[in-house]
Amino acid sequence: MNHLEILRHYGIRAQKSLGQNFLVNDEILETIANSIEITGRNILEIGPGYGALTEKILKKKPKSLTLVELDKNMVRILRARIEEGDIIIPKETVFTIVEGDVLKYTPGKNLSQNLEDSKKGGNLSGKSSIGASRTEDSTTSEETEIGTQSSHFRESSYSVIANIPYYITSPILFRFLHELENKPEEMVILMQKEVGDKILRKKGYNNSYLSLALEFSCGSIEEICLVEKGNFIPAPKIDSSVLYFQKNPEYDTRKAKLFLSVTSAGFIAPRKKLLSNLANTLHIPKERLHMSFEQLGLLETARAEELGIEKWKELIENLENT
């Protein structure tokens, strides 16, 4: 079935409260699936919806594929498509569906640990499907399947692919690129074009807390493609872009926490002077800040957006050592 037939067959309607817009352009879906190495790798897909991108990923035979989906109805439809043979799971692939909030999901934890986390907010269901295909014989018990999946994430690397609602783009990026101990090697995220432009500092955008935080956590960030709004059902009001994030192999948790703390303070009032923001938020004596600024050749009138990542690192190091 094509996308329109799937939408009609299952009576799918996008839920505005969940920020749902379904990408229905197969060429773009292929581009996303081709943007990272999938064959023989562990893949985590966030927000699969009815499985449009999932199908493309499975055709490449990943070692494992875990779907995390918040919408109960979409989980039901995914299982129905698998049972009806519309989505085919290769016998080589360990396949899992997790129903719940990805911001409460931790790759590498087993089901019971994730369920315990979900009690603090959100929901994660142990319901899952594996190999439920008419043409592939691959059946495993739910407990074994999820245990195997967790083992994959603990013992080897994984990558994330996500076509997510715009409103959780930043939380997901911070969750996977800063908060998690077991960070993905790569992430491919479809997001609002304006957010992508800000991250890449395109079209005259200056440095921002988001762009600096992601630059700190990543070895590289690249734009894969633009996605015009007409490629979605229903069409959003704005265009999208797909960005690629590669993990920084030298990520240092202590330095990252300090970097995020100082830069967030610097941007707390972006239009005000950086020196004043740091003094008022971090309670650093202005005399000490004046000295650091002078040593680094920074104007006392400088604003946070004027400093690139290397100058921010120099400033933080200077403040630590004085």
Q: Identify whether residues 239 and 289 lie together within a single domain.
A: no
Q: So what's the pLDDT on residue 153?
A: 55
Q: So what's the pLDDT on residue 90?
A: 96
Q: Identify whether residues 233 and 269 lie together within a single domain.
A: no
Q: Identify whether residues 242 and 271 lie together within a single domain.
A: no
CATH (domain of 184):
3.40.50.150
Rg (CA), the chain: 22
Domain boundary among 200, 218, 251: 251
Residue 164: phi, psi to the nearest 5? -115, 160
Residue 174 token pair: 């911070």
Q: Identify whether residues 300 and 205 lie together within a single domain.
A: no
Q: Identify whether residues 213 and 273 lie together within a single domain.
A: no
Q: So what's the pLDDT on residue 127?
A: 39
Three-state DSSP class for 99?
strand
What does pLDDT average to in each consecutive run of 10 residues of the chain (322 residues)?
86 77 93 97 95 97 96 94 95 95 85 50 40 31 35 70 89 96 96 96 92 98 97 92 97 97 97 96 96 96 97 96 82
Q: Identify whether residues 226 and 316 lie together within a single domain.
A: no
Domain boundary among 251, 269, 298: 251
Q: Identify whether residues 126 and 238 lie together within a single domain.
A: yes
Q: Identify whether residues 273 and 142 lie together within a single domain.
A: no
Q: Identify whether residues 112 and 219 lie together within a single domain.
A: yes
Nearest to 126 by CA among 117, 114, 138: 114
Could you tell me if 35 and 47 are in contact, meaning their C-beta atoms sit under 8 angstroms apart?
A: no
Q: So what's the pLDDT on residue 130?
A: 36
Could you tell me if 156 and 140 are in contact, meaning their C-beta atoms sit under 8 angstroms apart?
A: no
Q: Identify whether residues 72 and 151 lie together within a single domain.
A: yes
Q: So what's the pLDDT on residue 141?
A: 27
Q: Which residues on adjacent β-strands are paired with residue 42?
A: 64, 158
**Rounded alpha-carbon distances, angstroms, from residue 263 to 62, 162, 214, 272:** 38, 27, 12, 14
189/192 Cα distance (integer angstroms): 10
Q: Is 175 exposed, middle or buried (0-12, 13-18, 19+ CB in 10 A)?
A: middle
**Residue 178's domain spans which residues?**
3-251
Q: So what's the pLDDT on residue 279?
A: 97
Domain boundary among 215, 230, 251: 251
Q: Identify whether residues 151 and 263 lie together within a single domain.
A: no
Total domains in the chain come to: 2
Residue 209: phi, psi to the nearest 5? -60, -45
- Note the pTM of the prediction, 2 decimals: 0.85
Task: List, as one string, the DSSP characters of 251-304.
Answer: --HHHHHHHHHHHHHHTSSTTS-HHHHHHHHH---HHHHHHHHHHTT--TT--G
Q: So what's the pLDDT on residue 110?
A: 56
Q: Identify whether residues 171 and 271 lie together within a single domain.
A: no
